[in-house]
Each structure stands twice: as structure tokens, then as C-alpha cells.
Amino acid sequence: MTDSSQTENGENDFTKALSNVFGFHGFRDNQEDIVRAIVSGRDVFAVMPTGGGKSLCYQLPAYLLDGTCVVISPLISLMKDQVDAAKVNGLAAEFLNSSLDSAERTRVSRELSAGKLDLLYVAPERFAAPGFLDVLKTVPISLFAVDEAHCISEWGHDFRPDYLSLSRIVSEFGDSPVAAFTATATPRVQDDIIDRLTLRDPHVTRASFNRPNLSYQVVPKGDVDDQILTFLSDRKDEAGIIYRTTRKSVEETARELVRNGVNARPYHAGLEDEVRKANQEAFNRDDVTVIVATVAFGMGIDKSNVRFVIHADLPKNMEGYYQETGRSGRDGEPAHCVLYYSRGDIPKIRYFINQMEDDAQRATASGKLNEMVNFATVNVCRRSQILGYFGQTLDAGGCTGCDVCSGTVDRIDATREAQIVMSAIMRTGQRFGAVHVTDVVMGANTQKIRDLKHDQLKTYGAGSDRDKQYWRGIIDDLTAQGCVVRTDGEYPVLHLTAAGREVLFGRREFQVLRQREVPKPARTRRKQAKQIKQQITDFDRELFEQLRTVRRGLAQERNLAPFIIFSDRTLREMAHYTPTTPVEMRNITGVGDQKLLQYGGDFIQAIEAYLSGGE
Ligand code: ADP
Ligand code: ZN
């Protein structure tokens, strides 16, 4: 297809607007086709993963077309951030929902009627409200954008009856294009959405579920709080979410992190509304770096610079795992997803599944749990497993970061070592904890060993060629794989299980996974360079920190979330290219005309001060 708006240097009206308004130098996959379809008046149905850049698909047409774009979105808590983000890019945006007082509502309605708005965000129930459609009919409408469109389908996982009123859009506003977006829709849900919204020969996009900038890792779970602290030790100031299953474990891990100097807060449904809101808000605004949460934390997170998601307990199924890990790296920058896996988590989930009354439901849940366990235990590329779950395939060599592909995970036979440990447990009468058992295995010369004559046991010193950490690791693995259990109580002791005896008597092998090194997230191979725009890895960290401080200050003054001012990527580019003129600044990704005008000066000043030695 030829493009009459194409200029000699390959720029067209769309890429020009993209650069002027958003400061982006190129479209992501599918964005341009969707924008073109809408601008030419066509309906759209698009499935795009979280972070795929859905909002740009309707915000750019909203800018290019005359009239107001009406965005229907179910999450009132997100509307302010979405409107703020549009406003700082120079779009005239407002929202109408129950959180506004009547004076504000009047002001917004007036601006709407005067045709001054590019974007109006509304909740679905407003559509059913008498009078609202009548008001809309008096206003020129550029398009309707239906966000989280799967909510209209009873087959979907998040049906909302309010969404049914949206089926009136086409019959009442026949001239305006309707664009429906969602991050999750099976083909059946897709048909249902198109049907219910009565979309007219829509342009359909099903983007890949692949999130190339996320890297995946599964680590055998030991003392998970310790493991998390080690993980965090070289990620100071990086924002992340740690998922735990129970409120109690959320509280405990959060307390442990805080005790060790991590700026962390808990989040679960048992907290007072106020506290929960405050913790989420503090995280959103970079005042808190780590949130320890149950899965209740999720809906309503729009923070784009989440750099890691940790699952400290096994998720129930792959959908949950995909959604929760998907909350990292929405800005397209590398993010890391770690699952600490222990077989010991399985019985707890099984227990809940067994409580389900409906047989079919119980069978489904059980099957899903098995798939989750498989994901964590088989030696197959994690990314291809995730995509496979959603019925997609990954090109050979297409993985952009997982522990299996980067060859950093080895499956090692440790049957002999397991036998040494378990033999020591047996021969000491299953009455001691990990410390003493390790001492026996290593042949330590302690008072306790001398008193109990454990230096006369056959296994005494059988493992003296390895260090203490190694044997503690084997004990963790034995526990994780259900060969050994730790009793509860103040002095937990180790017991063998039936599975443990199988290994001890040589009837079964025992294997462990060992990491060689932490995989580097998202390598940029040539093939992937298109997907992941050149990562900026060498940038001045000190300058980056200073720019973050500037961003925080500006955000506080204006009551905005920091990522709305500039993304981490933008700050990283600044810390790499050190722009000191408006023209140089405008070349940075994410710096459009409006943001240059509003914030460019502050950042140029900070960069200059830094370059000249900080005066
Ligand atoms: P979604 O709603 O699909 O989860 P968003 O619309 O929130 O995703 O976009 C995710 C992030 O990607 C935002 O920070 C947005 O500014 C950024 N983004 C979107 N499109 C582009 C692009 N073409 N180039 C660079 N960044 C983009
Ligand atoms: Zn892989």
C-alpha cells in the first residue's frame, strides 16, 4: 500500500505526531496499523499484552482526529494516572467518575459540551446513567475506545454486567469508529466481544503474548527471605513486587526486609483500606521501592517502572503467574522475574483445591496446578512454555532471556550426596536439625558431637570435601523435593519421608538444579533488536540517580506519579547522552514537545550542574 503522506526521510503524519506528542521514535508492533485503521474510520479489535502500548493506539488518533475520544475503562483508580499522563503530553484529557465532586463534574461536562476535550475517560456505569448518552450526542465524537474489553464477555474471567450497556454504542453513535482493547481473550471471548459490541468488519490484531524484555528464572527455594535479601542486595532503589500466598507470610517477609534496611511495605486484603491505599500510592510514587503482596495487589497497578517481580511461593496456575510477572517492565525496559520453587508449596495449594465443591472446577484447578509445577521443574525454555500455554509458539532461538536458555541452570545428579545427608539423619535418630546434621556430614569437631559420640558414626566426615553452604543447599533441596521434612516448633528436626527412603536405598535418583550465574535480562541479539529497542546499559549511574531525584521533586510539586513525568528509560538515555540543549533533549525517547517545554529545563540544568562538577 502506498502512503501519500510519506515524506522523503520516511517520516509521515503518524510518525511525526508520534514524535511531537509522545517523543517516541518509532511504533511498537501493531500500533501503527491500529492507528491507521481508526483514523480511516474503521472499527478495531486488539489483543495486546500488558505493556504492549495500547493507550497510544487510541490517544494518537484522539490527537489526530477532530472531536472527543471517549475511553471506557473499568478501573476508576487508574483514571487519574491515565489522564495525567495524557495531559503532560499536551492532550486535553479529563475523566468523569464517582470520585469527582459536583463542581469538578460540572467543569468537565462544560468542557466536554464545548468540544474542548481530546479524551474523556468514563466508567461503564456512566453509559447506563440516564442523560449521559444525550449529552454525548451533542458533542462531536472522534472514536470510542473500550479498554479491558473482555469485561463484556461472560466467557471471560472478569465479566462486568455494566459493560453490557456498551452494546448501545454502535446503534446510538453509528458514525464513530469503536476500538476494543484487551490483554486477555481466548478466540471464544474475542468472538463474543466483537458480537456484543457489534463491531463492523473490525481490523483485528492478536499480538503475541511474548514479553521480550522480561527474563524468567526459577530458583530452588530455601530460606526465601534470605534469598530475597541476596537478590535485592545489588538492586538498590529498583522497584519491585514480591508475591506471597498468605497475609501472614506477606507481613513476615515485609518485616524482615524492613529490618534489613529495605524500603518495603506490605499489601493484602486484611489491611485497613487507608493503609492499603497509602502503601500502593507510596509505591506508585517511588517513595517505597518494594511491595510485598498477596495476589490482591494487581488490579489498578499502572506503574511502568517495576523492575522485578518475585514469586516467593508457587502460584496456583500459569494465568496468574503470567499476569503477575506481566506487571513488570511495562516501559519496555529489562525486568527480571524470579520464582522460588519448592515442592513443599504444592500440598498447601492442593488443600484449597480439595475444598472446592464442584467436581469439574476441582479437576480444572488441579490440572492447572500440575501445569504450573511442570513449568518450574522441566528443563524447557520458560518463555516457550509460557507462550505454549497460551497456544503460541516461539521461533527457535527467539528467547530473550530465561535461565534454561542462557545455560545458567544445570540439572545435576546428587543422589550420592543426598544419601550421605539422609544417612546422617537416620543414624542420628532423626532427632537433630540442619546445623548438627551438617556438622556430622562434614566431620566437625564440636562438643555436641563428642558428647553424643557422633564422631563414631559411619557417615561422620563423609562429606568433608565440600563446604557447609553446599550441604545446607542439599538439605534445602531435599526439603524442597519432599524427601526430608522439618518439624515445626522452636527446634525443628529433620525427618525422612517415604520419598526420601526411596532415594536413600538407591531406588530413585535425586537431582538438583544449580544456577551458574544470574542470567542477564534480555540480550539484544540482532534478531531481537527490532523487538527490544537498543537497551541503554552503559549510563552514568550517579547522574541517573540525580535525575531521579529531580523527577521525584517535580512529581511531588505537581501531585503526579514520577513515571508520568518521564520513564526510567528516558532518564537512562539522558544519563547516557547528557543532553544540554533543547534540541538534544528533544531527541531523547519520551521527550515530546510538551514535556520538553515543561520539564526540559530542569533536567538540562541538572545535567549541566553534574557535568561541571556539581556546583
Ligand atoms: P498497556 O496499556 O498496553 O499495558 P501502555 O499503554 O501503558 O501499555 O504502555 C506501556 C508503556 O510503553 C508506557 O510507558 C508507554 O509510554 C510506552 N510506550 C508505548 N508505545 C511506545 C512506543 N511506540 N515507543 C516507546 N514507548 C512506548
Ligand atoms: Zn528461554
Give ∠ CA 382-385-386 in degrees, rounded to 5. 90
Ligand nearest the Cα of residue 386 is 2
Residue 283 and residue 302: Cα distance in Å, rounded?
11
The total of other beta-carbon atoms located within 10 Å of residue 517's CB is 9
Residue 266 and residue 244: Cα distance in Å, rounded?
10
If we measure between CA atoms, which residue out of 517, 550, 522, 552 comes closest to residue 537?
A: 522
E-state strands within 316-386: 335-341
Residue of the CA atom closest to atom 20 of ligand 1: 53
C-beta of 179 in contact with ligand 1 (< 6 A): no
* Spacing, Cα 398 to ligand 2 middle (Å): 8
Terminal-residue alpha carbon distance, the chain:
55
Residue of the CA atom closest to atom 19 of ligand 1: 53
E-state strands within 516-615: none
Model confidence over 368-384: pLDDT tens digits? 888 898 898 777 889 99
Of 36-45, 131-140, 299-308, 514-523, the range with the lowest mean pLDDT is: 514-523
**pLDDT attached to residue 523:** 39
If we measure between CA atoms, which residue out of 213, 197, 191, 59 comes closest to residue 568?
A: 213
Handedness of CA 378, 382, 384, 390 (dihedral sign): positive
**Is 22 exposed, middle or buried, given 0-12, 13-18 or 19+ CB atoms closer than 10 A?**
buried
Pairing of strands 214-220, 44-47: unpaired
Residue 314 and residue 214: Cα distance in Å, rounded?
19
* Spacing, Cα 471 to ligand 2 middle (Å): 29
Residue 579 and residue 604: Cα distance in Å, rounded?
7
**pLDDT attached to residue 614:** 53
* Spacing, Cα 336 to ligand 2 middle (Å): 13
If we measure between CA atoms, which residue out of 115, 50, 44, 108 comes closest to residue 80?
A: 108
**pLDDT attached to residue 300:** 64
C-beta of 56 in contact with ligand 1 (< 6 A): yes
Mean pLDDT of 77-93: 92
C-beta of 599 in contact with ligand 1 (< 6 A): no
Ligand nearest the Cα of residue 86 is 1
C-beta of 211 in contact with ligand 1 (< 6 A): no
Mean pLDDT of 143-160: 87
E-state strands within 227-344: 240-243, 264-267, 290-293, 308-311, 335-341
* Spacing, Cα 253 to ligand 1 middle (Å): 32
CA 311 remoteness from chain centre: 11
Model confidence over 426-451: pLDDT tens digits? 999 999 998 899 999 999 999 999 99
Q: Which atom of ligand 1 is nearest to the CA of 54?
A: 3
* Spacing, Cα 22 to ligand 1 middle (Å): 10
* Spacing, Cα 330 to ligand 1 middle (Å): 7
Q: Cβ contacts of residue 557 below 8 Å, gap of 6+?
A: none
Residue 128 has pLDDT above 90, yes or no: no
Band of pLDDT at residue 156, cut at 50, 70 and 90: low
If we measure between CA atoms, which residue out of 301, 234, 236, 237 comes closest to residue 267?
A: 301
Residue 271 has pLDDT above 90, yes or no: yes
**pLDDT attached to residue 361:** 82
C-beta of 566 in contact with ligand 1 (< 6 A): no
Lookup: cell for 103:
463542581
Model confidence over 282-294: pLDDT tens digits? 998 889 999 999 9
Q: Which atom of ligand 1 is nearest to the CA of 183?
A: 3
Ligand nearest the Cα of residue 54 is 1
Residue 258 and residue 233: Cα distance in Å, rounded?
13
Lookup: cell for 22:
509522545
The total of other beta-carbon atoms located within 10 Å of residue 134's CB is 9
Q: Which atom of ligand 1 is nearest to the CA of 563?
A: 14
Residue 396 and residue 165: Cα distance in Å, rounded?
45
Q: What single letter denotes the amino acid at residue 187?
A: P
In a mutational test of the pocket of ligand 1, which residue from 58, 78, 330, 589 has the highest number of ligand atoms less than 8 Å from its CB? 330
If we measure between CA atoms, which residue out of 244, 188, 179 comes closest to residue 40?
A: 179
Residue of the CA atom closest to atom 16 of ligand 1: 331
Residue of the CA atom closest to atom 12 of ligand 1: 331
Q: Which atom of ligand 1 is nearest to the CA of 147?
A: 2
Mean pLDDT of 327-349: 90
State whether residue 122 is helix, strand or coil. Answer: strand
C-beta of 28 in contact with ligand 1 (< 6 A): yes
If we measure between CA atoms, which residue out of 595, 610, 596 comes closest to residue 540?
A: 610
* Spacing, Cα 192 to ligand 2 middle (Å): 34
Residue 208 and residue 2: Cα distance in Å, rounded?
27
Q: What's the whole-model pTM score?
A: 0.70
In a mutational test of the pocket of ligand 1, which residue from 30, 213, 331 has the highest number of ligand atoms less than 8 Å from its CB? 331
Q: Which atom of ligand 1 is nearest to the CA of 304?
A: 14
Residue 8 has pLDDT above 60, yes or no: no
The total of other beta-carbon atoms located within 10 Å of residue 89's CB is 22
CA 482 remoteness from chain centre: 30
Chain-wide mean pLDDT for the chain?
A: 88
Domains of the chain: 4-206 (3.40.50.300), 214-408 (3.40.50.300), 412-506 (1.10.10.10), 536-611 (1.10.150.80)
Residue 500 and residue 486: Cα distance in Å, rounded?
13
E-state strands within 387-427: 409-413
Q: Which atom of ligand 1 is nearest to the CA of 26?
A: 23
Mean pLDDT of 577-593: 94
* Spacing, Cα 115 to ligand 1 middle (Å): 27
* Spacing, Cα 494 to ligand 2 middle (Å): 36
> For the CA atoms of 366, 372, 373, 374, what is the dihedral angle to 10 degrees?
110
Strand order in the sheet with 264-267: 214-220, 335-341, 308-311, 240-243, 290-293, 264-267
* Spacing, Cα 423 to ligand 1 middle (Å): 56
